């Protein structure tokens, strides 16, 4: 059936469409690394290398595993040698400033190895120009603006492999000599105006990160950097460029990658073939289900990795893929799809090649190769770049189908001619894959099992695979904070205060001073003052100091009762507690309403509204069921400009039950330790029951009061 409309639409699902005289998919790293090496050796003016990861010691070599020229094999020495040989050549290397989660997987001190230890004309920068939680995920190589590579492969270690994905290949080892499993990925190389457009993306990215504008070559460079070993699969075709770019600074959001997935799925008539590392996007799954239900002849094949590598991927991407697959079951289209992974027999066991590619083929009409996964991050959080060809002739449609068949045949471990014949015979990709499976090798169903993730998996998924960046500004605005600079100043002030409080807490609990929190020791210390005229003043001073440093006030109340008896101790504790409450109230008023409002936000305003309506009753309620530590409540009350008389009366009434009970508990606990009779123990238990009862009753009373509208 002849398509009636174009899929690619500049400004909507692609940034632009540019002409390329040559295009070639590069399947697996050996072919890609050799092609990049050949282009680098022909570079004259500029080279841009953008990546999620780079490694200075990765071997940029082809299938032989050794350089076939006189230049070094490893990346950093190779770039240095080329630069030294050509005084006019500049290399710009942009590496994502990776999160600490990936530090164990990355090369240590990349700036030293790729910047300080290389020639001056190798310009290196860490890319931090992404929102919190996002990454620079484009994998681009641009040579003289005449040849450009894009896809899923980084110039780093543990990527090199050949299409046969041999079980054991001595060349498949990292610089430490450790081997790794078979690895599959795909890149694409283009030339012409399409390459120049990718070059503009790279130059723009460099300027955003470093502030430096790098001019394109003023005159056309005569040396053609197209890799000599690469035969074009397409000639004189239009290439669409789709991007994902999150909002950051002055950058506007671009979601062409996501829209292109949606539009191309909607246009599918017979086959959708996808190779992708991650399959978690609920929006894309919904679009796929709609297309499959609308067209019962449509088949969708997904090839992905057998499992996940890291703990965080198990608890995020694996659960996301389970939900992705469940969507097809729920829609009743499960018979039209296959989720598969390649497998290679190994004695009694098997080996699963890692699928890292990001390829989509729709019918024989559209071929897409790039950096974007089918997860939420690639749709709106990370930076991505996909290159896409839409067929405009029977010749191009045949070439697109040939690329698809070559990829599937590689996984099925059969000749591509055999697989193409099976597709023509059966008219079904699913049947052809089943027919070409033999000897235990090939594609087998992915079995992720079942999962009922708890809350922490849901939260991890939201953090690891967000649909949009988790920006600092958006979090603040969610809580009603508009003035970010003032909030930052307030946050810094609060941080200093918090650090002081933490230091004091550590002083109490990690030093010999911790013994001072023992009621027995407090009683022993205060008992020496029992007959002194200065006892009331000293006890009150102790309460003032304790309130200032947020020392637990209840311990002092119990200690006073233990030292001076229930009645005198109650009097001293009441005086001390009220003095501490008044002092910290005064400090709160001195700090001011604005300071506390910025610190506590809307919560302070709600408290003020309640107090304005109910006055003393509100203070009593807060004291009966404290919403924060004693000192914090006092500071907030002072800053809220509560009338001193209302505050004092409310504090007396609200604290009275607690002070009385704590005084009795302190005295009774001392008696139990000194004379553990049954009567003393029962009295202590009864006091505890009364304390719990008062607390629960107060909570119910206050909750009922607090729900009333202000």
CA 190 – CA 194 distance, rounded (Å): 7
Contacts of 640 (CB under 8 A, 6+ apart): 588, 593, 596, 604, 607, 608, 611
List the beta bridge partners of residue 94: 50, 125
Alpha-carbon 274 to chain mean position: 24
pLDDT digits 0-9 by tens, 4-24: 589 999 999 999 999 999 999
Average confidence (pLDDT) over 350-374: 97
Residue 24, pLDDT score: 98
On the question of pLDDT at 523 being above 50, the answer is yes
CA 342 – CA 624 distance, rounded (Å): 65
Express as a percent the part of the chain with pLDDT over 70. Answer: 66
pLDDT digits 0-9 by tens, 229-284: 999 999 999 999 999 999 988 889 999 999 999 999 999 999 999 999 999 999 99
Alpha-carbon 187 to chain mean position: 25
pLDDT digits 0-9 by tens, 450-501: 766 554 455 455 556 777 776 555 445 544 455 555 555 555 655 665 566 5
- DSSP secondary structure letters along 240-283: EEEEEE--BTTBPPEEHHHHHHHHHHHH-SSEEEEEES-B--HH
Residue 707, pLDDT score: 43
Contact call for residues 130 and 97 (beta carbons, < 8 A) = no
For 159-228, the three-class secondary structure string (H helix, E strand, C coil) is CCCCCCCCCCCCCCECCCCCECCCEECEEEEEEHHHHHHHHHHHHHHHHHHHCCCCCCCCCCCCCCCCCC
Give the tokens for residue 68: 């076939």
Residue 199, pLDDT score: 97
Strand bridging mode 46-51 / 122-127? unpaired
pLDDT tier at 527 (50, 70, 90 boundaries)?
A: low
> In this structure, what are the phi and psi dihedrals at residue 93, rounded to the nearest 5 degrees?
-115, 120
On the question of pLDDT at 286 being above 80, the answer is yes
Average confidence (pLDDT) over 180-193: 97
* DSSP helix/strand/coil, 322: helix
Average confidence (pLDDT) over 545-562: 63
Average confidence (pLDDT) over 402-428: 96
pLDDT digits 0-9 by tens, 67-97: 999 999 999 999 999 999 999 999 999 999 8
pLDDT digits 0-9 by tens, 642-669: 677 777 777 777 666 666 666 555 555 5
Q: Which residues of 625-660 are buried (b: 16+ CB within 10 A; e: fewer)?
A: beeeebbbbbbbbbbbebeeebbbebbbebbbbbbb
Q: Which of 172, 154, 149 is nearest to 98 (CA)?
A: 154
């Amino acid at each position: 059936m002849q398509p009636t409309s174009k899929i690619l639409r500049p400004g909507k699902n692609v940034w632009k469409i540019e002409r390329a005289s040559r295009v070639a998919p590069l399947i697996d790293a050996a072919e890609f690394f050799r092609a990049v090496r050949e282009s680098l050796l022909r570079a004259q003016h500029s080279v841009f290398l953008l990546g999620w990861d780079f490694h200075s010691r990765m071997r940029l070599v082809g299938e032989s595993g050794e350089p076939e020229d006189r230049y070094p094999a490893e990346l950093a020495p190779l770039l240095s040698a080329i630069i030294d040989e050509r005084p006019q050549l500049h290399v710009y290397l942009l590496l994502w400033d990776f999160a600490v989660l990936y530090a164990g997987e990355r090369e240590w001190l990349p700036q030293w190895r790729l910047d300080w230890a290389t020639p001056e004309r190798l310009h290196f920068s860490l890319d931090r120009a992404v929102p919190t939680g996002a990454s620079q995920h484009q994998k681009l190589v641009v040579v003289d603006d005449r040849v450009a590579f894009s896809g899923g492969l980084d110039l780093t270690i543990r990527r090199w492999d050949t299409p046969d994905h041999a079980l054991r290949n001595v060349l498949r080892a990292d610089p430490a000599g450790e081997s790794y499993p078979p690895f599959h990925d795909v890149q694409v190389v283009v030339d012409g105006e399409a390459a120049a457009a990718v070059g503009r993306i790279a130059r723009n990215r460099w300027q955003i990160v470093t502030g430096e504008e790098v001019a394109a070559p003023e005159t056309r460079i005569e040396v053609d950097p197209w890799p000599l070993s690469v035969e074009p699969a397409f000639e004189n075709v239009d290439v669409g460029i789709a991007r994902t770019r999150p909002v950051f600074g002055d950058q506007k959001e671009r979601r062409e990658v996501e829209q292109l997935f949606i539009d191309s799925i909607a246009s599918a008539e017979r086959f959708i073939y996808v190779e992708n590392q991650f399959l978690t996007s609920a929006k894309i799954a919904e679009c796929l289900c709609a297309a499959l239900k609308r067209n019962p002849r449509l088949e969708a094949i997904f090839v992905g990795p057998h499992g996940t590598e890291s703990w965080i991927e198990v608890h995020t991407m694996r659960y996301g893929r389970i939900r992705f697959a469940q969507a097809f079951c729920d829609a009743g289209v499960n018979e039209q799809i296959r989720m598969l992974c390649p497998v290679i027999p190994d004695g009694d066991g098997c080996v699963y090649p890692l699928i890292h590619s990001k390829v989509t083929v729709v019918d024989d009409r559209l071929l897409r190769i790039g950096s974007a996964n089918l997860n939420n991050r690639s749709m709106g959080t990370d930076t991505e770049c996909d290159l896409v060809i839409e067929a405009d002739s029977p010749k191009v449609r045949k070439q697109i189908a040939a690329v698809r068949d070559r990829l599937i045949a590689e996984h099925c471990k059969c000749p591509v001619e055999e697989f193409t014949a099976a597709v023509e015979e059966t008219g079904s990709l699913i049947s052809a894959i089943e027919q070409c499976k033999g000897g235990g090798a090939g594609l087998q169903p992915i079995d992720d099992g079942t999962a009922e993730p708890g809350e922490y998996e849901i939260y991890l998924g939201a953090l690891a695979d967000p649909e949009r960046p988790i920006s600092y500004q958006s979090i603040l605005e969610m809580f009603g904070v508009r003035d970010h600079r003032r909030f930052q100043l307030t946050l810094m002030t609060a941080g200093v205060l918090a650090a002081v409080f933490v230091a004091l807490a550590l002083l109490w609990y990690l030093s010999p001073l911790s013994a001072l929190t023992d009621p027995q020791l407090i009683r022993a210390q205060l008992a020496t003052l029992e007959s002194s005229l200065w006892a009331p003043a000293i006890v009150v001073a102790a309460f003032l100091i304790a309130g200032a440093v947020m020392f637990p006030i209840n311990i002092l109340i119990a200690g006073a009762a233990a030292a001076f008896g229930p009645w005198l101790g109650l009097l001293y504790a009441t005086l001390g507690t009220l003095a501490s409450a008044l002092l910290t109230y005064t400090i709160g008023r001195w700090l001011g309403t604005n300071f506390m409002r910025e610190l506590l936000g809307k919560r302070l305003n709600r408290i003020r509204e309640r107090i304005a309506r109910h006055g003393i009753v509100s203070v009593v309620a807060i004291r009966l069921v404290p919403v924060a530590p004693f000192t914090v409540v006092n500071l907030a009350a002072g800053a809220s400009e509560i009338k001193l008389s209302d505050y004092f009366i409310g504090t007396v009434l609200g604290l009275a039950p607690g002070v009385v009970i704590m005084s009795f508990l302190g005295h009774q606990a001392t008696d139990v330790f000194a004379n553990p009779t049954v009567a003393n123990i029962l009295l202590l238990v009864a006091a505890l029951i009364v304390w719990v009862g008062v607390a629960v009753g107060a909570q119910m009373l206050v909750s009922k009061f607090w729900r009333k509208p202000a």
